[in-house]
Chains A and B, each alone.
Chain A
Amino acid sequence: MISISKLLCDLDAEGDGLRYDDADASSKPQITNSLQRRPVVVWNATRRCNLYCAHCYAAAQREPAPGEFSTAEARSFLDQLADYGVPVVLFSGGEPMVRNDLTELVRYAADIGLRPVLSTNGTLLTTERARELQDAGLKYAGISVDGLPERNDDFRGQEGAFDAAVRGIEACLETGLKTGLRYTITQANAPDLEGVVDLLSDVGLDRFCFYHLDYGGRGADIADIDLTPDEKRAAVKRLCDLTLEYHDRGEEIETLLVGNYADAGFLVEYARDEFGQDKAQVVYDYLERNGGDPTGERIADVDYEGNVHLTQFWQGYSLGNVRDRPFGEIWEDDSNPMLQAIRTRDERLRGRCQSCQYKPICRGGSRLRALASSGDLFGPDPQCYLHEHEISGDPASAGGAAD
């Protein structure tokens, strides 16, 4: 996760310590005071969902699935995370709001020292539910919207889903729960991006997370509507411009990018173009501390059956199951060749990634996309949109980030 607003506009956020080892310089209360050592864990608390979204990485279904944790099992699982020192657990799905023990589990997570946060489609959130979850200790709700009403509803497979999600956002804002938007950018909804930010910032939302499409679950089925690298570059540039425009007007929105660490190199280039080399160096230093793509290191996923994955998008491979071994033991098992390979990927990357000047802040981007597109786990991420001169650092052929 890369914060445009932090890197370009110096906006303090609760994640500064966790993400950039910059807690001391931040005026906001911090998730952690030091750089993240243990992974943030995404927990697909259920496979069941009340919607059927075209891009769902978890391939969620409307029917319940066998094998989901009971309440008691879920508590034991949360104990494992707390014992291992996991800083944040993200209740996800499916749609986590369909679990009728969600509030109880959020409260339990908070009680044992985890920071519970929620990823939801927002359509089941009422003011009452939002207040109940906040009282239980929920710290943040990320609500998915993928376009203006018509496009969003089409994508999510249900008419009225946009309006219901906005009602959910309003319910959270009314109770004072920190709330953000999650928006997965594809060719289908890229034109709506600015409209959605404008519309939701009018509602009072000030945190916007933009996800690149990863090729897992149903996301792999719609890889053909992923933006081309050039379109991706244009969309990210527009987001940077938009963030600066909002901040210039005194509206301090927080904007974040998720799922494509070519963004890291691009932000350095963008900072150099807009603010000069000193600022570019500051941005680079933050991103170096951040550590590049977090797969298998700073992010983990546990699905509804207890299988541990390298990221939430990579559900096709599991390291092990928490019903068999505690999460920490699975995550620390260096005898697993896949885990070992992913954690030493810097030395295994091939093609343009191998000698890229931004390798230390990107680390090859998405290994899942590389695998899905070419079958080569350490080949280049097909969605890297950096230009050759940016990869090589050769100023002879340099243009601007806006090229």
Chain B
Amino acid sequence: MDRSRRSRVPGDRQSTRVPTWEVFIRSEPTDPLHHVGSVTGSTAEEAHEQATALFGWDDVDLWLCPAEAVERYTTRQFLGHRDRPQETDEPQETAPGVDQA
């Protein structure tokens, strides 16, 4: 796999009303930090509380990063990993529209 061909992962991670935080834990002192998903929380303290209830039983370190601050790059292709669709990948800015019929 050519890792120099990473592309930016699209998507807006700031759109939830409650901020999202990416969670990283280190289980043992010599372990690397490990991404274990994301939690929501209005503040870092609230997110820490959430994450601790889910993961922080015995972990040495627990890091939180605002999801909006994370730029993700990947070698994978989300779009068209089976067969690339014909249409353009324009976000539905006006759609989805309410069908009033």
Contact = CB atoms under 8 A, between A and B. Distances in A.
B39 A316 contact: yes
Q: Which range holds the interface residue count of chain A?
A: 35 or more
Contacts, number: 133
A307 B53 contact: no
A317 B81 contact: no
Given A316-B40, A338-B37, A101 B79 contact: no
A68 B94 CA distance: 12
B87 A72 contact: yes
Nearest to B73: A324
B39 A101 contact: no
Interface in B22-61: 25, 27, 34, 36-40, 50, 53-55
Nearest to B83: A79
Contact of A306 (B11, B36, B76, B92): B11
A319 B99 contact: no
A181 interface: no
Contact of B91 (A48, A70, A83, A336): A70
Contacts of A371: 53-54
Interface residues of B, number: 45
B55 A305 contact: no
Contacts of B53: 371, 375-377
A48 B16 CA distance: 12
B96 A319 contact: no
Contact of B95 (A47, A50, A67, A101): A101
A371 B82 CA distance: 39
Contacts of B55: 337-338
A335 B96 contact: no
A64 B96 CA distance: 8
Given A83-B82, A124-B99, A323-B11, A68 B91 contact: yes
A59 B79 contact: no
A301 to B, nearest CB: 13
Given A100-B97, A126-B101, A338-B37, A70 B89 contact: yes
Contact of B96 (A76, A98, A126, A323): A98
A66 B101 contact: no
Contacts of B34: 335
Contacts of B27: 337
Contact of B37 (A72, A102, A305, A320): A320
Given A73-B79, A83-B82, A317 B37 contact: yes
Contacts of B98: 48, 50, 98, 124
A101 B85 CA distance: 14
Given A318-B38, A322-B78, A338-B36, A67 B12 contact: yes
A128 B95 CA distance: 20
Contacts of A47: 15
A114 to B, nearest CB: 13
B39 A317 contact: yes
A67 B15 contact: yes
A157 to B, nearest CB: 15
Interface string A75-95: 111011001000000000000
Interface of B: 9-18, 20, 25, 27, 34, 36-40, 50, 53-55, 72, 74, 76, 78-82, 85, 87-92, 95-101
7 contacts: A98-B99, A100-B96, A124-B99, A124-B100, A307-B38, A322-B78, A326-B81
